[in-house]
Amino acid sequence: MYELLRRLFFLPRAATELARAIDALHFVVIGTTLLGSLAIAAAAIWLITRYRSDVVRPTPHQSARASREWLLALAVVSAFLAAWVVGYKQFLRFHEPAPNAFTVYVTAKQWMWKFTYPDGRSTTDILTVPEDQPLELVMTSRDVIHSFYLPGFRAKQDVLPGRYVTLSLGAARAGNYRISCAEYCGISHYAMSGELRVLPAREFQAWLEAGSPDQNSSLVELGRTASARHGCFACHTDDGQTHVGPTWSGLFGSEVLLADGTRVLADAAYLTRSMMDPQAEIVAGFQPVMPTYLGSLPQPEAAAIVEYIRSLRRAEREPNPTLPTVQVAPPDAGATRSSAP
C-alpha cells in the first residue's frame, strides 16, 4: 500500500524511517486536499444543476445559524491543527541531536558541496556514509545561501554563510541518493548537485581503508596543534582542570549546564557553535569572554579540534586511537577577519 501510494505520488524511495513517517502524513494531507476539493466541486455542480432556472425568480432570504458556523470552523481548525501537531513533531526530529551520530561537515560554495569527514578527509559532491548509523550534518556556506536538499530523506536545510546549521537525518538504508541545491544561488544553481552514498558497514569500512593513502597525521593530532596555534590553551585544558574556560576533558557527549539554566548535549554541533558563536551559549559559572573564531578558524581545523575534544574522553582508557590518517586543506586564505584584536 505504501509502495503503491509512493509511486502514485511520484515520491522517490524513502531512505529513513522518518522519511516514511513523513510520507504517511503526506498521504493523509494530500488525500484530504483531493477529496475536499472534489467534494466542493461536486457540491457546486449539484447545486448549480439543481437550482438552475431559466426564469429569474425571487429567492428566500437565508441566513446561516451562528452556532453551525462556529462548529464548522472548529472542525476545520482542529483538522488543520492535528496536521500541525504531527508535522511539528516530525520537524523537530530534523533538529534533534542524535546520539552516536556519524557527523560530517558540509561546506557549500558556488557551486559545489564539500564534505569533511570525522577522520579529516574531504570529498567534493559525493558523500559516503555508513548504513544504520544516524547521520548528522554540520553545515556552513562560504558565499551565498544554498540549501542542502536530499529528496530521498525528505530533508532540506538552508546553508548560511557565517553560521553553522545542523541537520539530523537518522539512520539510512543503503543506496544512492540525489543531493540538490534548493536555494537559488546564481547561474549554476541548477548544476549544484551531488550524491549521497549509503554503504553497508563492511563496504564502508573498505571504502575508508581504500581512500586517502598519502595522509600523514591523525586528525586528533591535527586538532591538538590547531588548538595550540589558535591559543585555545590560554583558557582551556585537556587534563580536567578548570581554567578561564571549562576543561575539554570528558566534555564530548556530556551534558552541559548553561548559564540560563538549560542543558545541552555537547555534540559536534554544540562544540562547533561554541567556537563560532561562543556568546550564544554560555556555560554556567563562566564569563562570556571567549572570542568568536568565526572566519578565523577554517572548517577543517574546526573539525579537527572537535575530533580532538572528542578523543579526550577516551584518552584515559584507550590512548592513541587508531583513526585513519588524514589530509587537511591548507588554512583558509579567504578568511575575512583575523582573530587578533
Partner 1 sequence: MSELADHFDSPERQAHAARLGMWVFLGSELLLFAGLFTLYGAYRTKFPAEFAEGVRHSTKLLGSLNTAILLVSSSFAALAVEQLRRARRGRALGLLLATQACGVVFLVLKFIEYSKHFALGIYPGGQGRFFAAHASAHFEPFWTLYFLTTGLHALHVAVGILVLAFTTLALGRGSFGPKFIHPVHNATLYWHLVDLIWIFVWPLYYLA
Partner 2 sequence: MAPLLPGVDDSGSGSEQAHARKLALAGLALLALAGLSFGLSYLRLAAWALPIALLIALAKASLVLGCFMEFWREAVSVRLAALTALVMLLLLATFTIADVATRERPPLLPPEQAALTPLTPTGALPP
Partner 3 sequence: MTTTFEPELRVVPSAPPRVRDLAREWLLTRDHKRIGILYFAATSLALALGGTFALLLRIEHLTPGPTIVSPATYDRLFTLHGVTMVWLFLIPSIPTAFGNYLVPLQIGAREVAFPRLNLLSFWIYVFGAAFVLCAMGLGGLDTGWTFYVPYSSSAPSAVVPTLVGIFIVGWSTILTGVNFIVTIHTMRARSVSWMRLPLFTWAIYGTSIIQVLATPVLGLSLLIVMLDHAFSWGLFDAARGGDPVLYQHLFWFYSHPAVYIMILPAMGVISEVVSTFAHKNPHSYRAIVYATLGIAFVGFLTWGHHMFVAGMSVFDAGAFGVLSMLVAVFSAIKVFTWVATLRNGSIMLKTPLLYVFAFLFLFVFGGMSGVAVATMSLDVHWHDTYFVVAHFHFIMVGGALTAWLAALHYWFPKVTGRSYSERVGMLAAVLVSAGFFATFFPQFLLGNAGMPRRYYSYPPEFTALNVASTLGSWLLASGLLLALFGLAHAFLFGPPSGDNPWRSRCFEWRTASPPPTHDFEQVPSFELDAYDYTTPWPEEPSLDSSAEEPS
Binding site for ligand HEC (CB under 6 A): 227, 230-232, 234-236, 244-246, 251, 256, 266, 271, 274-275, 278, 282-283, 286-290, 293, 297, 305
List 130, 152, 278, 298, residue binding partner 2 (CB under 8 A): 130
Query: Binding partner of residue 253 among ligand CUA, partner 1, partner 2, none, CB under 5 to 8 Å per kind?
Result: partner 2
Instruction: Indicate the residue among 175 and 288 with the shorter CB distance to partner 1.
Output: 288
The three cell numbers of residue 191 are 548544476
Binding mask 75-94 for ligand HEA (x = CB under 6 A): -x--x---------------
Q: Which residues pair with 148 in a beta bridge?
A: 157, 181
Binding of ligand HEA by 45 (CB under 6 A): no
The three cell numbers of residue 156 are 532540506
Q: Which residues pair with 161 in a beta bridge?
A: 141
Query: Binding partner of residue 32 among ligand HEA, ligand HEC, partner 2, none, CB under 5 to 8 Å per kind?
Result: ligand HEA
The three cell numbers of residue 158 are 538552508
Instruction: Indicate the residue among 149 and 293 with the shorter CB distance to ligand HEC.
Output: 293
CA atoms within 13 A of residue 139's CA, in its CB half-sphere: 26
State in angstroms the smallest separation of the CB of 288 from partner 1.
8
The vertex-68 CA angle with 67 and 72, nearest 5°, equals 120
Number of other CB atoms surrounding residue 307 within 10 Å: 27
The vertex-246 CA angle with 95 and 341, nearest 5°, equals 90
Report d(CA 295, CA 4) in Å as an integer: 49
Site for ligand CUA in 165-224 (CB under 6 A): 181, 183-185, 189, 192
Residue 220 Cα distances to 118, 236, 245, 299, angstroms: 10, 16, 21, 15
Instruction: Indicate the residue among 149 and 204 with the shorter CB distance to ligand HEA.
Output: 149
Interacting residues toward partner 2 by CB under 8 A: 92, 95-97, 99-103, 118-119, 130, 133, 201, 204-205, 208, 250, 252-255, 262-265, 273, 277, 280-281, 307, 310, 313-314, 317-318, 323
